[in-house]
Amino acid sequence: MPAPIAVQLYSLRDDSADNFDNVLQRVAAMGYQGVEPFNLYGRSPQQFRRQVEDLGMRVAASHYPWSNRADSIQEVVDVIQALGLSRAAGGFMPEDFKDRAAVERSIETTQRLVDALKPHNLTLFLHNHFWEFEPLDGHTPYHLLQDAVPEVEFEIDTYWAANFGNNDPQQEVQRVRRRCPLLHIKDGPLVSGAANVAVGRGRMDIPAVINAADDSVLEWLIVELDKCDTSMFTAVEDSYTYLTGNNLASGRA
């Protein structure tokens, strides 16, 4: 059976700022099984989780709080556990991969977070952008981190992993398939600065990317569209229709 489908609510951030209740209701009505928040819009983690579950969905993962930007690891633990999750998010900025010394610092940070979360029975997953895949001294920086910290998990953002057509996202998923419980699925023209499009309408080979994952490890497919020239609600719903209609993900309907 295909992995369940969720949506990263960052995709609907503009509408969420106006009426978050309406966003959650509309996402549930589309058939999404889960959501991944980046902001709780004034709700406590417990309130947010209850609201999501009352709508028939689950909290798939969370980008709040970001482990390496939080005030304390205890804050991360408290929120993630209240959301009913077993893993916390982390990620890095361009300067964290700008040279070999920066990569080494990112490796040290990642290992520190893994070790800090472990006593709480939580794991760390990293979400990538494109800069982790920019070649550096003949190496791919993200590969150096992956190899150096074997316990960290990954939420491979498959569109960013393509690095605007300069990289093979299928190979990137394959490389960490045993450590990749989450995939961010997005689509677009693979042009820097260009808007995303609904999944299935861009240049990404979506089936190949999803099939590169390990079915026994993959827990969620999470649609994320950073910006679209069309209505974001329409793009999010069209993405759901494409993925579930092609038996690449499973919805609630």
Band (pLDDT 50/70/90 cuts) for residue 5 is very high
Tell me the pLDDT tens digit for each residue of 146-176.
999 999 999 999 999 999 999 999 999 999 9
Residue 149 lies in a domain: yes
Residue in this structure with the two tokens 């992993």, named with its chain if needed: 161
Predicted pLDDT at 131: 98
Give dist(CA 164, CA 170) in Å, integer.
14
Does position 190 have pLDDT exceeding 90, yes or no?
yes
**What total number of domains does the chain contain?**
1
Percent of the chain with pLDDT over 90: 98
User: What CATH number did the domain enclosing 82 receive?
Assistant: 3.20.20.150
Give dist(CA 203, CA 162) in Å, integer.
10
Residue 251 lies in a domain: no
Give dist(CA 114, CA 128) in Å, integer.
17
Predicted pLDDT at 24: 98
Give dist(CA 23, CA 17) in Å, integer.
10
Residue 67 lies in a domain: yes
Give dist(CA 75, CA 89) in Å, integer.
13
Predicted pLDDT at 92: 98
Tell me the pLDDT tens digit for each residue of 66-109.
999 988 999 999 999 999 999 999 999 999 999 999 999 999 99
Residue 224 lies in a domain: yes
Q: Calculate ∠ Cα 162-163-165, nearest 5°.
A: 65
Percent of the chain with pLDDT over 70: 100
**Residue 62 structural domain:** 5-245
More confident residue, 70 or 211: 211
The Cα-based distances of 130 to 57, 106, 167 in angstroms read 30, 16, 10
Tokens standing for residue 98:
């700008």
Does position 253 have pLDDT exceeding 80, yes or no?
no
Band (pLDDT 50/70/90 cuts) for residue 188 is very high
Residue 68 gets the label, from left (phi > 0), alpha (psi -120 to 50) or beta, of alpha
Band (pLDDT 50/70/90 cuts) for residue 245 is very high
Band (pLDDT 50/70/90 cuts) for residue 114 is very high
Predicted pLDDT at 14: 96
Residue 252 lies in a domain: no
Residue 9 lies in a domain: yes
Residue 45 lies in a domain: yes
Q: Tell me which amino acid residue 232 is.
A: M
- For 206-213, what is the mean pLDDT? 98
Computed over its alpha carbons, how large is the radius of gyration of the chain?
17
Among candidate residues 181, 225, 250, 198, the one with its CA nearest the CA of residue 34: 250
Cα Dmax for the chain: 51
Residue in this structure with the two tokens 């482990």, named with its chain if needed: 67
Residue 166 lies in a domain: yes
**DSSP 8-state code for residue 145:** H
Predicted pLDDT at 210: 98
Predicted pLDDT at 60: 98
Predicted pLDDT at 53: 98
**Are the CB atoms for 250 and 244 separated by under 8 Å?**
yes
